[in-house]
Structures are given as C-alpha cells and as structure tokens.
Amino acid sequence: MKLDILNLSHYELPEEYENAMRLAAELALLEDSRASGREVEASLVLASSEHVRKLNARYRHLDKTTDVLSFPQHDKADIWPDGPVSLGDIVISYEQAKLQACEYGHSLKRELAFLTAHSMLHLMGYDHQTAEDESLMQGIQEKILAEAGIIR
C-alpha cells in the first residue's frame, strides 16, 4: 500500500506517529478482500482545525471543525477497477486529534492511528449510519489497533 502523508499543520509529526498511521492504514486494508494482491494508494493530510472546518463547510455543509474527513473514490457497492486503485483522501485535524487524545485519556499516537483506521474504513465503503454498522466499524477499529500494538 502506498500512503502519501502531507503535514500541513503547524505541528511536527514524530516518525513513530507516522509509522503508527501507516500501519493502521495497512491493517485496515487487510479487512477488504478487494485489496488482496492489489496496488492500493491513498493520501492523508494533517491540517489545522480551521482548514478542516472549511473543508467540512464546503463538502458537508457543516460549518464546524471535526476530527477527520474522508473523501472516498469508490462506493462500497462499486467494483474496483483493474490495476492500481486510488481509495481517496483523508484529512485529519491535528489539533482536534490532540484534544481528543487528552479527552479520552490516551496518547496522540493512538488517536492518530485510530482516526487513520477509521477513515480508511470509510474509504473502503464502511459507514456508521446505523447502530449495527457503527458496532461493526468499532469492532474492526479496535482489532486494527490491537494488531498494531496500540492499546489504551
């Protein structure tokens, strides 16, 4: 898997955090049989809360910040095209991730890995609109973090 990470935030991204995000993305990809043996890529941008707020307002018509936005290239029902597959883009608010890590009582590394796994699942078509779908996603996310050795 190729994951391009662009840090547009005003914060330094420690290598161990970047590695945790890459591992979370790779483990999330293993949850989808369509990815088996395929060249798959995605992009991940770390941005300011203000940047994420503007994107949220533009694309979701919600003029407020959020922790992460996912911009998938394919719907879950879509059959992925032959050849390399671009899953889409992830935008994480570094500032919001820091706040949530404090709020939930775990490390920023864990929060960034969680948000990466969560968004990768969205890029592959998972959603949490129903209680059943939310429970499924939560289970997969926890499995990914456990496999990555990133626990609370």
Q: What is the pLDDT of residue 37?
A: 82
> Which of 87, 54, 52 lies closest to 69 in space, CA to CA?
52
Coil, strand or helix at 13: coil
58's CB contacts (< 8 A; 6+ apart) are: none
Residues in a beta bridge with 77: none
What is the pTM (predicted TM-score) of this model?
A: 0.94
Q: What is the pLDDT of residue 79?
A: 66
Residues in a beta bridge with 5: 44
One of 3.90.660.20, 3.30.70.20, 3.40.390.30, 3.40.640.10 is the CATH number of 2-147, namely 3.40.390.30
Rounded Cα gap, residues 24 and 83, in angstroms: 23
Q: What is the pLDDT of residue 77?
A: 58
The domain segmentation of the chain, as residue ranges, is 2-147
Q: What is the pLDDT of residue 83?
A: 80
Average pLDDT for runs of 10 along the chain of length 152: 95 96 96 85 97 97 96 75 88 97 96 98 93 96 96 78
Exposed / middle / buried, residue 64 (Cβ in 10 Å: 0-12, 13-18, 19+): exposed
pLDDT, one tens digit per residue, over 39-67 is 999 999 999 999 999 999 999 999 999 99
Encoded tokens for 38: 């395929």
Coil, strand or helix at 90: strand
